[in-house]
Amino acid sequence: MIAVQVDNLHKTYKVGEGILNALAGISFKINRGEVVAVVGESGSGKSTLLHILGTLDSPSSGKILIDGKNPFEKRDKSVSTFRNLHIGFVFQHNNLLPEFNALENTMMPGLIAGFPEKTVKEKAKILLKKVGLTKRELHFPSQLSGGEQQRVAIARSLINDPILLLADEPSGNLDSKNASHIHELFQEINQSLKSTVLVVTHNKEFAASLPRRIRLRDGHILSDEQNS
Amino acid sequence: MAANSKAIRFLLHRYLISSWASKSRRSASAIGVLLPVLGVSIGVFAFTVVLSVMGGFVTNIKSHLLNMQAHIEVVAIERGKQIPENKDLMQQIQSISSEILAISPYQSGDVILQSGSRGAMARLEGIDPALAEGTLSLQKYLSEDITLNILNRKLPAENITKSDLFPTVIVTLDLMNLLGLHVGDSLTLVSTIPDDGIGGLAPTQFPVMIAGYISSGNFSFNQKRVISSLKITNQFFQYEKSWLGLQLKIKSPLEADKISQKLNKILKPMGLRAKPWTESNSALLKVLTLERFGMSFVMLMIILVGCFSISISLLLTIRRKSNEMAILRSLGFEQSDLSKLFLWQGFLIGFAGVIIGLALGGVALYCIHNYQIPFITTSYSSKPLPVLIDIYEIVFISFGSIFLAMLAAVWPAIEVRNLDVIEVLSVRN
Ligand SMILES: Nc1ncnc2c1ncn2[C@@H]1O[C@H](COP(=O)(O)OP(=O)(O)OP(=O)(O)O)[C@@H](O)[C@H]1O
Ligand SMILES: [Mg+2]
């Protein structure tokens, strides 16, 4: 089963007089349940790719299919709904809403979807337990460490059982100990929940530990390595 | 599918209400929520208080006007033309409309009052004391112990040793004070038009005695009135038995215009016309309306300023919370959900402002109405101020303010749609 299919994806920006190819024709496929690292130098187009796959940004040309569906065939309304139900995001930092505690932050996508509060709450508790934060449920982001905040963000990204989990340098802001904790968490999630994960990382060890690496350079795929 | 309204409610509740519990966010809430709420409530407060006090004032003026004057006067179309005494005419007019409660004849003209070396211009009004009881409600303004009936009598004057009997008049208190006279004193009515009779061009002089006075309290308009009997007035002006017009009292004074129109259909062919009190006092009523309009305008401006503070605070909130707005978008919020979030904030801030403003206004009006408040009361009257709360006006102000508050949130609601999620995410990453 193919979870993600990308065909000749372009993203161009007008910069002054000229144009900049942030993504210059990218194609690849990701199967269901795969964990893929996206690596590359700064400015190579990793975040741009993630934003387009997450429907936050739209392609200049080319096609993407997520679970066989093209999310951009729809208008903004249904694109947002698609994102809400099928995509989970984890960014580098400041992922959480400061006015809401860990449990409420985790519940938010479920509440936006309009699922019954009770079920969403139960599920959020299970996920927070999975990321090891049961005791921190009622703590606000300002009361959590950077690593703990990232773990809440991971729990939140899973609340609606997304098809695709997208993480943009989720451990980029953390010390090595907390970073490896997050890395373990991603592998654990992938194994227990069979989630499809695309994670941008500068961490060589983490990238090497994952079964597949897509390397970008100047908007092109430089290599697509798979551990055999 | 839009984001579930429950999620939006949850966010609103947290942003507007429970964020107060957190010390670190309290000052942001104070600026973002409390100040605009106060802005609106001050406007609503001022609006209700000022309009209600003015309403009380105007109603008071009108009720005095309606007591001291006829609701409708019937006069000759030709200005100042006398109408020969005609009892049938009175009955005929009264039979036109069942709205007419009473009718009485009157005479009126300018007069100079003279007492010793002092003098004053005034309006001399002749009434039929018995019939005027029905058309004018002067009784409660009359000095103690007298009724209009005293005008039928002749009495001796206290400041003149000769024990002649003089025709009686009732004067306004202002006039009495102006001339330095007291009840029981005599004074001389002098005509403004020289008598062109045999005696040459000498003005008519006519001694009368003050039998009582009229005092309208705080509302001393028409300050220079001298009231005497119709008979005496006619004698003074050297008219045969005639009237300047008829005074009518009607059931509902506010309908005076309509009833006058009805009367006019029948009166016009007879060379007569009906003049409602609103016409006689049109200048005053216009000024009052204008003043009210002007006040409303100023108050509206205050509310507008309050609403501007909503715009400003919400626009600042977008700046301050751009990261959170971007997160919400990444979690599945639509642009329109963010807009909704801001429109609701405008509505709720406006709503809270109105409720607080009305509550404060209510308390203030209660105090103004029931207690003497220094500064306000002394400069205007010695008693607590009259207050008239017009419920329609209050409803109008309330809904208007909430509407303006929502309008103030439209700009932020549009602005937040333009939030560039990618840019926000890129800047922070
Ligand atoms: N809005 C924009 N306008 C112009 N150029 C842009 C815009 N957004 C991104 N770019 C350019 O596109 C290229 C790819 O950017 P992107 O953020 O995807 O890089 P990245 O691989 O995520 O880098 P990093 O590792 O530093 O996060 C960069 O050269 C960047 O300058
Ligand atoms: Mg990046």
- Percent of chain A predicted with pLDDT > 70: 98
**Which residues of chain A make contact with B15, given a CB cutoff of 8 A?**
99
Give me the interface pTM, i.e. the ipTM.
0.94
* Nearest ligand 1 atom to alpha carbon A202: 25
Q: Does A101 score more than 90 pLDDT?
A: yes
Q: Is B23 on the interface with A (CB under 8 A)?
A: no
pLDDT confidence bin for B372, thresholds 50/70/90? confident
**Which residues of chain A make contact with B32, given a CB cutoff of 8 A?**
none
Closest Cα in chain A to B24: A142
Question: Residue B285: what pLDDT?
Answer: 87
Mutate to test the pocket of ligand 1, among A17, A20, A220 (most ligand atoms within 8 A of CB): A20
Residue with the smallest CA separation from ligand 1 atom 3 is: A13
Question: Residue A153: what pLDDT?
Answer: 96
Question: Residue A3: what pLDDT?
Answer: 92
CB contact under 8 A, B6 and A117: yes
Q: Is B332 on the interface with A (CB under 8 A)?
A: yes
pLDDT confidence bin for A38, thresholds 50/70/90? very high
The answer to whether the CB of B156 falls within 8 A of the CB of B128 is no
Q: Does B380 score more than 60 pLDDT?
A: no
Q: Nearest CB to B332: which of A81, A96, A104? A: A81
Residue with the smallest CA separation from ligand 1 atom 22 is: A47
Which range (A100-104, A120-124, B68-72) has the least confidence? B68-72
Cα separation of the two ends of chain B: 30
User: For A180-210, what is each residue's pLDDT tens digit?
Assistant: 999 999 988 888 888 899 999 999 999 999 9
Q: List the domain boundaries for chain B.
A: 5-64+285-428, 70-276
pLDDT mean across residues, chain B: 86
Tokens of A142: 């300002």
pLDDT confidence bin for A220, thresholds 50/70/90? very high
pLDDT mean across residues, chain A: 92
Residue with the smallest CA separation from ligand 1 atom 27 is: A42
Question: Residue B80: what pLDDT?
Answer: 83
* Nearest ligand 1 atom to alpha carbon A15: 4
Question: Residue A194: what pLDDT?
Answer: 86
Q: Does A91 score more than 60 pLDDT?
A: yes
CB contact under 8 A, B15 and A99: yes
Residues 6+ apart with CB under 8 A from B374: none
Q: Compare B339 and B157 and report the one with higher pLDDT.
A: B339
CB contact under 8 A, A117 and B328: no
Question: Residue B195: what pLDDT?
Answer: 58
Q: List the domain boundaries for chain A.
A: 34-59+77-226
Give the residue-averaged pLDDT of B252-264: 89
User: For B5-31, what is each residue's pLDDT tens digit?
Assistant: 888 999 998 888 776 766 766 677 777
Q: Does B374 score more than 70 pLDDT?
A: no
Architecture of the domain defined by A34-59+77-226: 3-Layer(aba) Sandwich (3.40)
Distance, in Å, from the CA atom of B347 to the CA atom of B8, rounded to the nearest integer, reads 14
Question: Residue B401: what pLDDT?
Answer: 93
B383 to chain A nearest CA, in Å?
53
Closest Cα in chain B to A78: B1
Rounded distance from Cα A223 to ligand 1 centre (Å): 19
CB contact under 8 A, B1 and A77: yes
Give the residue-averaged pLDDT of B271-291: 89
Other CB atoms within 10 A of residue B187 CB? 27
B38 to chain A nearest CA, in Å?
23
Distance, in Å, from the CA atom of B336 to the CA atom of B97, rounded to the nearest integer, reads 62
- Percent of chain B predicted with pLDDT > 90: 38
- What is the four-CA torsion angle of B35, B38, B44, B50, rounded to 10 degrees? -120
User: For B59-111, what is each residue's pLDDT tens digit?
Assistant: 888 888 888 888 999 999 988 888 888 889 889 888 888 889 999 999 999 99
